[in-house]
Amino acid sequence: MKKDIVISAMSNYEWKHLKNWFFSLKETGYQGDIAVILYNDPYNVKKKLLENNIIIYEPKGNHYRQYMTFLPEKKSKIRYVLNKLGLYNSKEHIASNPVVVDRFFHMWDFFNNIKQDYDRVISTDIRDIIFQKDPFNWLDDHLGEHLLIASSEGLKYQYETWGIKNNEDSYGKTIAKSMLNNIIINAGVFGGNVKFIKDLCLVNYLMSFGSDVHNPDQAMYNLLLGTELIKDKIKLTTSADTFAAQLGVIMEDRYHKNISEKRPSIKENLVINDRQEIYAIVHQYDRNASLKRYYDNKYAQ
């Protein structure tokens, strides 16, 4: 029987960094599987994951080979010299290959090898996500023939300095210029058909892996989703929809005049759209101090 799954990735986090994500999801009544791609775990979060029946996938390497762990991250000067001499490839070291990029490969690897047959997946960040409703109920009503549900940030690249620079650093000024009129799509929340998303993750990873910058994943994600190759397979949600609220760029006053969507609002610790409807997922909730305090206290354990 096919099942649904929510998946995320973490590295160097304590349980306090993901408890709000987990408990808020369970409180929605969600009955499917929950999985975490677990990288570095100095605080033994694995114990808490197991206690809460969360599926754990511990990566052993990238698409080339096993990670080399003989040279700690703190010895960066030694690593630099060895890399220049051709004696050390930093991209084969778990501390040097960023989790934000690796997570795409390991999502592909997870679904490529897992015995359970999954139908739909919701992929999210973990530290700054809470759930207000079961997101798969939203997919039931809105996915239709689409294979991917993505979430807009309500701002075009031409107005977002960080995004422009990230695109330029990742893939050069020519490609970055071609994306200036595109609405920024957030890579921290997406969902849909497992087979489609699995392949999308692999392509995103391989293209990101070829970049020299630390975090090219969002640039590549936006570039891919903007191509005619897959545009017709995507449903891009806005703040008017109730799939996911983005409380980052869209809530910042400096971007207000250029935002193309109405801001979400917070009422009695619920994040709602302009029609007073509750979002299923809230991303970057921790940027609102009162909302973060509310959830930290609600799930204090």
Contacts of 230 (CB under 8 A, 6+ apart): 148, 200, 224
Q: Does some domain include residue 82? A: no
Domain housing 224: 3-62+97-298
Q: Does some domain include residue 139? A: yes
Q: Does some domain include residue 119? A: yes
**What is residue 213's predicted lDDT score, i.e. its pLDDT?**
79
Contacts of 231 (CB under 8 A, 6+ apart): 225
Write out pLDDT tens, residues 251-264.
999 999 999 999 99
Q: Does some domain include residue 44? A: yes
Residues of the chain under the 70 pLDDT cut:
1, 63-80, 82-83, 86-98, 210
Q: DSSP string spanning the chain?
A: --EEEEEEEESS--GGGTHHHHHHHHHTT--SEEEEEE---TT-HHHHHHHTT-EEE---B-SSSBPB-SS-TT-HHHHHHHHHTTS--GGGBTTTS-HHHHHHHHHHHHHHH-SS-EEEEEEE-STTEEESS-HHHHHHHH-TT-SEEEEEEEEEGGG-HHHHHHHHHHH-HHHHHHTTTSEEEEEEEEEEEHHHHHHHHHHHHHHHHT-SSS--HHHHHHHHHTSTTTGGGEEEE-TTSSSEEE-SGGG-GGGGGG--SPPPEEETTEEE-TTSPBPSEEESGGGSHHHHHHHHHHT--
User: For the chain, how many residues are written?
Assistant: 301
Residue 267: give its domain's CATH number: 3.90.550.10
Q: Does some domain include residue 89? A: no
Q: Are 7 and 123 in contact (CB under 8 A)?
A: yes
Q: Exposed, middle or buried by CB within 10 Å (0-12, 13-18, 19+), for 119?
A: middle
Q: Are 262 and 273 in contact (CB under 8 A)?
A: yes
Q: Does some domain include residue 80? A: no
**What is residue 79's predicted lDDT score, i.e. its pLDDT?**
58
**What is residue 23's predicted lDDT score, i.e. its pLDDT?**
98
- Please give the tally of structural domains in the chain: 1
**What is residue 74's predicted lDDT score, i.e. its pLDDT?**
47
**What is residue 116's predicted lDDT score, i.e. its pLDDT?**
87
**What is residue 95's predicted lDDT score, i.e. its pLDDT?**
43
**What is residue 290's predicted lDDT score, i.e. its pLDDT?**
96
**What is residue 60's predicted lDDT score, i.e. its pLDDT?**
78
Q: Does some domain include residue 69? A: no
**What is residue 93's predicted lDDT score, i.e. its pLDDT?**
46
pTM comes to 0.89
How far is residue 266's CA from residue 245's CA, in Å, rounded to a whole number? 11
Q: Does some domain include residue 86? A: no
